[in-house]
Every structure is written in C-alpha cells, then in structure tokens.
Amino acid sequence: RWRARTAVAGPRRGKMAAGKLPARVLELLFSYLELPELLSCSLVCRHWHRCLEADENSEVWRSVCSRLLSDEAQGSDILCSLSSYKAKARALRHAWSSADCSRNVYIKRNGFTLHRNPIAQSTDGARAHIGFSEGRHAWEIWWEGPLGTVAVIGVATRRAPLQCQGYVALLGSDDQSWGWNLVDNNLLHSGEAAGSFPQCNNAPKYQIGERIRVILDMEDKTLAFERGYEFLGVAFRGLPKASLYPAVSAVYGNTEVTMVYLGKPLDG
C-alpha cells in the first residue's frame, strides 16, 4: 500500500511516471487507496480521472466498499437503491454524522442508521456529514419504529439546534431549518406551520419503513419530496444561499431513522 501511495501521490516526477501507466495498472494501484486519496487522484489529470470514473463497479470501488462498509450494511437491503460500488462508498461519506447529533442519539455500526435513546422529555436530532450550497441532490430516509407524537425530516443549517426539552417539532422550530412532520403532514419553518403537505385531500399518513425521497435543488432553492414513484410536490421555496444538511428530529425512545444519499436526482 505504501508503494501504491508513493506512485500516485508522491513527487511530481512520480506523478508524471504514473500518469503514463496503463489503466489496468493504475486501477490496481488505486485499489489500495482510501476514499479521500482517490478524490484527490481524480483531479490530477484526465487519464487518472477517466480511470476512476469509467467504471463505477471497478476493482477500485469494490475495494473501497469492502474496507469502508460494515458487514451489516453490505448484507442488508439498506443500499438496495444504489447500483454501483462507487455510489455506495459515496453514500457512506454523506451519511449521518456521529459528531453532529444530539447526545441522546448514536449512529449504529452500519453507518446509515441513527438510534434515539429512550430519554424522557427530550427531542433529539441529527445532521449528515456533508451539506449542500449548490447543485441538486437526493436522498432516501425512512423510520424504523414508532414515530411518536413528532417525527420530522428535512434540512438544516449548522446553526440549527439538535436537542431541546419536551416533545416538539425541533426541525423547523427556527429560521435555520425546514421540515415535514410525518405525523400530522404539516410543514414547519421558523417555529410555525407552513401549510399541510402533500397538498391533496385525505393525504395518506406515513407508514413505518416506507422510503421517502428528499430532493434538494440549490439551483432553484427548493425542497421537494417523493413517496415511492410519486412526486409529492415542492414543499419549500426560497431556501437561503447557505450550506443545507439533511436532517431529522425524533422524540420516540429507541426509534431508528436511516438515511441513504442517492446523488443527483433523475429528471422525469
């Protein structure tokens, strides 16, 4: 592994020599590197970029997944919506952050599921590792266990609180977060209900285990939701030009929430 890193991340002379290597040889060398190093390598030259981007199921990305993903994640259906090894590695990079969540929450060993401990009179939240200030992004999120009286999904800035006393709609309680309460189908922002969602008569309530797709468009400054293959509509418009993170807040003890980043949403 040390020789591989020297060959692809060493002095300029080493880079020039490695840049002339056949793609198959580069792929073998890249398979020993960690994800941050691979991201740096993709910026070195077009040849390296093509080698890493041409096949998202190459030995490089398979090796990354085998090292990064837990046996639990690889053996479950958590990542069933992702078709390539590269997409799975990217999803882990965008998963819940153990350093950016309530003290009453921990991230399970699979890396994608948070668990809220049974703490009375507390509302607890979490944010993902990475926020977005540009581009279009989609992720799936689903509840495993009872919703309780409040269960909110959406986005938040770094300034939004992740814990408070009582059982409240924490996500959407200030001007730094935007949320959809799955219990009563209300949209929340700045501590007020921003309307019902989806906007239809007798909208069905969320079912435990049902995957909701969240679509953040920082080009149009909108947040939308999908259920299954049904587009539910735009929930929020006029989002600020700030870094927004996938976020959630929960109140029910021992409930679990899983989030999987999907990448750029498909049109149509």
Same domain as 197, residue 68: no
33, 59, 90 - which closes a domain: 90
* Domain limits for position 233: 98-263
C-alpha dihedral, 210 to 176 to 236 to 198, nearest 10°: 40
Return the pLDDT at 117. Answer: 97
For residue 212, the SS3 value is: strand
Return the pLDDT at 50. Answer: 86
Other CB atoms within a 10 A radius of the CB of residue 202 amount to 5
Return the pLDDT at 130. Answer: 97
Mean pLDDT of the chain: 90
CA distances (Å), origin 259, targets 11, 139, 141? 40, 7, 4
Average pLDDT over residues 220-249: 95
Whether residue 180 is predicted with pLDDT greater than 60 in this model: the reply is yes
Residue 183 lies in a domain: yes
Contact 264, 135 (CB under 8 A): yes
Average pLDDT over residues 189-217: 90
Total domain count for the chain?
2
Return the pLDDT at 18. Answer: 56
Whether residue 11 is predicted with pLDDT greater than 50 in this model: the reply is no
Residue 71 lies in a domain: yes
How does pLDDT run across 80-92, given as a tens digit for each residue?
Answer: 999 999 999 999 9
Residue 50 lies in a domain: yes
Q: What percent of the chain has pLDDT over 90?
A: 70
Same domain as 218, residue 109: yes
pTM over 0.85: yes
Best CA proximity match to 152, nearest among 172, 138, 132, 174: 172
Q: Phi and psi for 29 in degrees, rounded to 5?
A: -65, -45
Same domain as 34, residue 137: no
Whether residue 106 is predicted with pLDDT greater than 50 in this model: the reply is yes
Return the pLDDT at 174. Answer: 96
Return the pLDDT at 17. Answer: 55
What's 182's domain CATH number?
2.60.120.920
Return the pLDDT at 13. Answer: 47
For residues 78 and 156, give the distance between their C-alpha atoms in angstroms, rounded to a whole number: 24
Same domain as 127, residue 254: yes
Q: What is the DSSP string of 79-96?
A: TTT--SHHHHHHHHHTSE
CA distances (Å), origin 92, targets 31, 162, 219, 252? 18, 21, 24, 25
Whether residue 2 is predicted with pLDDT greater than 50 in this model: the reply is no
Return the pLDDT at 4. Answer: 47
Same domain as 191, residue 246: yes
Amino acid occupying residue 223: L
Residue 193 lies in a domain: yes
Whether residue 12 is predicted with pLDDT greater than 50 in this model: the reply is no
Return the pLDDT at 35. Answer: 81
Confidence label for 254 from pLDDT (cuts 50, 70 and 90) = very high
Whether residue 221 is predicted with pLDDT greater than 60 in this model: the reply is yes
Q: What percent of the chain has pLDDT over 70?
A: 92
Same domain as 110, residue 45: no
Query: 188 pairs with which residues across the strands?
Result: 179, 193
Contact 6, 14 (CB under 8 A): yes
Whether residue 138 is predicted with pLDDT greater than 70 in this model: the reply is yes
Contact 135, 243 (CB under 8 A): no
For residues 189 and 159, give the distance between their C-alpha atoms in angstroms, rounded to a whole number: 14
Whether residue 65 is predicted with pLDDT greater than 50 in this model: the reply is yes
Q: Return the higher-pLDDT residue of 106 and 59.
A: 106
